[in-house]
Structure 1
């Protein structure tokens, strides 16, 4: 096992198993979201925590943060929901038990208000509402990072970072996707949008053409922006793509690593989501855990574009996929810290 620490602890209020996986603290305290969702068995939640925490190490590494990777995952019981406040307090106790080795923030099933409740039991939490002394909703900052990444992608693929006049398809208009829509509309981009929810009015308000999710995925555009759930890119979906590039905030966009090779074979430039989606994490941790100035935080957010540009150029020069370059960078960084320690 490559993880430093994995703990599954039964919450004394709810009786539910709470798993925290700390993948690495080589760069500093581990950081990662708190996920509350349904699983067939609580052991499946442990498996997910292992996978997600390892991905967080990659995200903090590529973002240049002095932090490691971790994750909290709670398997909710089928058929009924526990007392939410009691569950969040149980989560807070579990994180406090680790004594500062790990800090948590929002993930699937949680938000800033939940972080405030967890914060009643531990100081090792981020993304609390501003009214509770935190940095608030991270979605706008995630979108800022996405725009920086899109400029890097357009520069690499089309020779210019300009977004005006470019055609983008945004799949998912939730909190992050909605902000991306607004920012691209302000750049005078041509937009297509879709969601499983009825957000057609939001799309129309920003001049986007509303289509079905299937049509959005196969839209003839410059860049496809996955902004919903992961696993979108598969051996079955890649042949239907008509975009020149893909870059978006959805996590775990590839169903399996080999799908990156399929995209490469089709000449579709894929920007690894571990880089593109880091804006929210960067802002929240830089503000609340690292106590950086607004200028320092802004520089980190815009640095997403520089990081991605280097990755894309290295991939183009060496003839490998951007995913391969990312894996190499993360491995090199972990090896360097392992030698140092």
Structure 2
């Protein structure tokens, strides 16, 4: 298998594999956590294949996914990877987002310990705290960079204006957001802002949370405790409509001699060298299929065809249910309002 190429992520000096590995589903949200030895084996397989950009968060598990990565990176593996984790989402009976400086520091220290490392390569604010000015949160992250606890700073699901304000305090290396053939709203304002500021783009759920792997059939395979069962786009009233998108992408994939998921992933890869998708998987064969998407070439006319299939009205249903506090495209209060 061809080696996965390396790319510069953002303009601050971070270099990563052109495709990353989202590790969330190994431990959380997508049904029963998978056996630890199998997941460590999968992570090692990814690293040996050149997928070295690993993505986790303290809320995955919670905490258990970071601990899994800590075990997987023992014995010389740490030096081979670019490790990204996140802080900011807490679950204490209800979802809460926290960007308070004392919490930022405590979360970072705890993540370092669970991961068994002395420095995190890329540390994201997982969601934006709408009560704390972004400048205050970023001020603490800047201190953590100066202390050598983190190398680079990222934001996830932040609005364009929040990204701009944060970038003034300390350069943002990457913004993580949902981007795929069925989530394209970020193209209007957030992607252009990142490009203007030299910020890398990390696309999570590039396969539409598995929808582009098996279409509407995926619902039948989901366990009862899989949070995707509650996503509006996968509810019966929307799924009938959304199935058409999958079928049309599937037809194109057949013509190209690749799988539907490879075509969907190749579309994200073709958005530019500043975009790194991080598909998640728990199976080695799916990992290899995802790496294969790097070899799928899409000339402009095929990109245009895919984009006409996946236009704004081709998907029914919101990205999340109303019960989930996502703070997508969210603002923080002005700095002048802050009373420490």
TM-score, normalized by the shorter chain, greater than 0.5: no
Q: Highest relative contact order (Cα 8 Å, sep 6+), 1 or 2? A: 2
The normalised TM-score by structure 1 is 0.32
